[in-house]
């Protein structure tokens, strides 16, 4: 699952930007167009695909709106991340892997995992 979190403005921006770029990478793949289409974003997927063929990776990420980010990622402060994950995925999955495609403080994750175990 995509996870967006941070402890200050800079880390939040890195998280948002990195995750939007990762979502755009997936969205540029024709096989994922159906997922975007389900949300009314099929045309954006077509544009991402076109940009990917031009090597315009940053521009692709710029096409991902905050609404799209919130749809595909759990966006929460570190101390609220476990609750956000459980609200989104609790009762549906029994294993997860975080996708944090951005520079981040790796010391955040043990506390999030402990929160997940405690709240699950």
Q: What is the largest CA-CA distance in the chain?
A: 46
Average pLDDT score over residue span 46-56: 97
- The ranges assigned to domains in the chain are 2-119
How confident is residue 97, by pLDDT bands cut at 50, 70 and 90?
confident
Structure tokens of 1? 């699952």
Separation CA 96–CA 103 (nearest Å): 20
Task: Quote the pTM value.
Answer: 0.90
Please report, rounded to a whole number, the percentage of residues in the chain having pLDDT higher than 90.
75
What is the separation of C-alpha 83 from the centre of its chain, rounded to a whole number of angstroms?
16
């Amino acid at each position: 699952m995509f996870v967006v979190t941070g402890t200050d403005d800079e880390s939040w921006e890195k998280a948002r930007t990195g995750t939007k770029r990762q979502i755009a990478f997936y969205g540029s793949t024709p096989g994922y167009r159906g997922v975007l289409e389900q949300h009314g974003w099929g045309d954006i997927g077509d544009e991402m695909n076109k940009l990917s063929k031009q090597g315009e990776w940053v521009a692709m990420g710029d096409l991902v709106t905050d609404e799209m980010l919130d749809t595909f990622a759990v966006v929460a402060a570190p101390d609220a991340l476990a609750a956000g994950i459980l609200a989104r995925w609790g009762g549906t999955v029994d294993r997860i892997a975080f996708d944090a495609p951005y520079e981040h403080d790796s010391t955040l994750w043990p506390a999030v995992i402990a929160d997940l175990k405690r709240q699950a």
